[in-house]
Structure 1
Amino acid sequence: MIGELTLGPLLYHWPGHKWRDFYFRIADEAPVDAVYLGEVVCPKRWPLQASYLPEVTERLERAGKTVVFTTPALVAEDADMALVREMSAEERLIEANDVAAFEILEGQPHVVGPYINIYNEATLARLHDHGALRAVLPVELPSASLAALAAGRGPELEVQVFGRWPLAISARCYHARAYGRTKATCQYACGDDPDGLDVRTLDGEAFLTINGVQTQSNAYACLIHEMPGLRRDGVSGFRLSPQAVDMVGVANAYRGILDGSLGPAAAVARIGDLAGATPLANGFYYERAGAEWIEAGS
């Protein structure tokens, strides 16, 4: 088993030393069982963090955490596939976020990431036969679908319970365009926005978040109230997606829910304080617009 509380891969472009120091603190202070490391959004970023990977991995594993290497969500060029091969060559679990990785990983234990469309039990069973030990389910699935998948034959299931939902990946980089650059000459424009770039409507209302070639929700997902039900349905992994907030504090709140030391209302209040001006959302779980916040019991 990979672990119940996990920290998904950092989706933003942070300077290498900040990336390293973030994971050092996670190793030393965060009560998570597993950590995913790698570049999901844009392989151009990875060389700026790659040199720190060995020491970050060693620090996390010395702290007793399982480390899973993750791969790009859009494999469109030879360089993208080269990164998949580079990560897959390591002797550890790999998270596949594009079907291009499946040929390399066939028969090898691996994790299927949330960018692979899993919407029915047959798909889940097929991926299990292929070697998947765990599948991180798409973020837009409602509770009934999550329960149905958990009841079928297949790998362990993981669900994102905190952080901006990943909604789409594009071959074009809107982030670079917003700064008057092209994808080829981006100068790492996404690095200017360590928690993503807000997209607002003409009325000035926060709508989405742009992160390089990725489109995300503007709100942070927060499925604290829903975790006991997910657990009863058979979900065994709960993913926190890193944001530019106190992620140790976030991890402590979610760990408090899992071990019963913190009540849901207190945990949500704590997450709200940590999130600051960013709203919380859980709408997908209730078959509503993802950006909505549904109060428990309503």
Structure 2
Amino acid sequence: MKLALGPIHYYWSRVTTLQFYEAMSTTSVDIVYLGETVCSRRHELRAADWIDIADMLSQAGKEVVLSTQILLESGKDIATMKAVVNNGRYLVEANDMGAVHCMKGEPFVAGPWLNVYNEPTLQVLAGQGAKRWVIPLEMSADALARMQAERAHGMQTEVFAYGRMPLAFSARCFTARNRNLPRENCQYVCIEHPDGLALSTREGEPFLVLNGVSVQSARVYNLIDSIDTLKRLGVDVLRISPQSQGTGEIVECFRSVIDADATGAQALERMGRLMPESRCDGYWYGMPGLARQAETWIEQ
């Protein structure tokens, strides 16, 4: 089983981003996804910078995948997507069907935002060149088991196993709205929130996280104590979503469990100080996403 580092969903400075990937080059992560997937207005890194990072990681022995933007809103966004698709050097993660179409049969990774929930859809994507698919965040273990039984020969499966879950994307920038700023003059305020802007309920409970045009879960999705189940289901890759602090330690926690050097419970205890918020795993067990399997979920 391999470990993948998903694309950075937050807006970090150029220096911070370069230092982050330099550090990740020495970890035991196998696959690294690169690129701006959330908002085209984020401009700290240009296309040439992402290629330079890709080259550095490739030289360090990592498999590099370039990710396309999730929500395309303009001709410029489409042009950027096509540039990623036609990079000619690195595998591409297609995050919308426009990118799939532009692949023209070349091998690609079907990103989680394609929302593949049934075997016929996965077969169609396989016919168009998909070599690996990332399951939707909401998919349960039972639903994945049914998909695995029917997946196309040679198709790899990747599961989002750690991180705050991106739940929705919009044309409106929620972080700018929080400052009463229009998106067109957002002043790039999301760079001030390296792990997103947390929202709480009136009762003070963590609820959501604003990340530009994206809304994320406040709790951290974490399947580290389900790795034995993931192995039994034939999952090939586990994805870890980057956070501003402790990502390298998170990677090593997952590696220790995959290699049977630690139990899931031991790793989860170690990770308690590394997670920016409490843990959830409800979707994996067919429950509401913010639930935890250890808790008894009572439907209101």
User: Cα distance, 1:202 vs. partner?
Assistant: 2.2
User: Cα distance, 1:228 vs. partner?
Assistant: 1.3
1:275 partner amino acid: M
1:95-106 equivalences under 5 Å are 95-106=93-104
Aligned to 2:63: 66
User: Cα distance, 1:46 vs. partner?
Assistant: 4.1
Q: Deviations over 1:173-218 (max 9, x none)?
A: 1111001211100011111100001122222221011111011111
1:24 pairs with 2:22: yes
**CA distance 1:172–1:78, change in 2 (3 Å):** same
Question: What SS does the corresponding residue of 1:52 show, helix, strand or coil?
Answer: helix
Aligned to 2:281: 282
Aligned to 2:249: 249
User: Cα distance, 1:39 vs. partner?
Assistant: 0.7
Q: Distance in 2 between matches of 1:57 and 1:183?
A: 30
Aligned to 2:191: 191
Q: Distance in 2 between matches of 1:225 and 1:54?
A: 35
Aligned to 2:222: 222
1:162 partner amino acid: Y
More divergent stretch after superposition (126-135 vs 151-160)? 151-160
TM-score, normalisation: structure 2: 0.94
User: Cα distance, 1:294 vs. partner?
Assistant: 1.5
User: Cα distance, 1:52 vs. partner?
Assistant: 2.6
Q: Distance in 2 between matches of 1:41 and 1:211?
A: 9
Identity of aligned pairs, percent? 37
Q: Distance in 1 between matches of 2:275 and 2:182?
A: 32
User: Cα distance, 1:158 vs. partner?
Assistant: 0.4
Q: Distance in 2 between matches of 1:78 and 1:204?
A: 42
1:59-138 equivalences under 5 Å are 59-91=56-88, 92-138=90-136
User: Cα distance, 1:49 vs. partner?
Assistant: 4.7
Give unmatched runs, 5+ long, in structure 1: none
User: Cα distance, 1:86 vs. partner?
Assistant: 1.4
1:251 partner amino acid: V
Q: Deviations over 1:106-148 (max 9, x none)?
A: 3100001111111111111111111000011111111111111
Question: Which residue, out of 137, 140, 160, partners 1:139?
Answer: 137
Question: What SS does the corresponding residue of 1:95 show, helix, strand or coil?
Answer: strand
User: Cα distance, 1:295 vs. partner?
Assistant: 2.6
User: Cα distance, 1:256 vs. partner?
Assistant: 0.6
Aligned to 1:166: 166
Q: Distance in 1 between matches of 2:45 and 2:128?
A: 33
Q: Distance in 2 between matches of 1:171 and 1:95?
A: 22
Asked if the contact 2:161–2:222 (Cα under 8 Å) also holds between the matched residues in 1, the reply is yes
Q: Distance in 1 between matches of 2:86 and 2:126?
A: 21
2:105 partner amino acid: G
Give unmatched runs, 5+ long, in structure 2: none
Aligned to 1:291: 290
Q: Distance in 2 between matches of 1:205 and 1:264?
A: 27
Aligned to 1:213: 213
Asked if the contact 1:38–1:46 (Cα under 8 Å) also holds between the matched residues in 2, the reply is no
Asked if the contact 2:14–2:44 (Cα under 8 Å) also holds between the matched residues in 1, the reply is no
Asked if the contact 1:167–1:215 (Cα under 8 Å) also holds between the matched residues in 2, the reply is yes
Q: Distance in 2 between matches of 1:122 and 1:46?
A: 38
Q: Distance in 1 between matches of 2:279 and 2:46?
A: 30
Asked if the contact 1:15–1:49 (Cα under 8 Å) also holds between the matched residues in 2, the reply is no
Asked if the contact 1:19–1:49 (Cα under 8 Å) also holds between the matched residues in 2, the reply is no
Asked if the contact 2:226–2:264 (Cα under 8 Å) also holds between the matched residues in 1, the reply is no
Asked if the contact 1:16–1:49 (Cα under 8 Å) also holds between the matched residues in 2, the reply is no
User: Cα distance, 1:51 vs. partner?
Assistant: 4.4
